[in-house]
Amino acid sequence: METKVTLKKHHPCGSKEFNLIRLGPEVVLRCSGCGAVVRMERKRFEKAVVRKDSAVSIQNSE
């Protein structure tokens, strides 16, 4: 099951909602609007997330 997240900035297709595919040092997202795959660094991702719709934690557990 993929986690749905909403980001501050929208994708060029107009959608702000993405499906979280992989969470590691690099985060992989799939746009809910057009299906494009987006990759970004985890720090940038953590700053860009407005809302997540799952119990998966996106913060480092130290």
Distance CA 33, CA 24 (A): 23
Query: Is 61 or 31 the better-scoring residue by pLDDT?
Result: 31
Q: Enumerate the domain spans of the chain.
A: 3-52
Distance CA 43, CA 52 (A): 16
Distance CA 27, CA 45 (A): 7
What is the per-residue pLDDT across 2-57, written as a single tens digit (0 to 9) for each?
689 999 998 999 999 999 999 899 999 999 999 999 999 999 999 988 887 764 44
Distance CA 31, CA 16 (A): 8
pLDDT at 54: 63
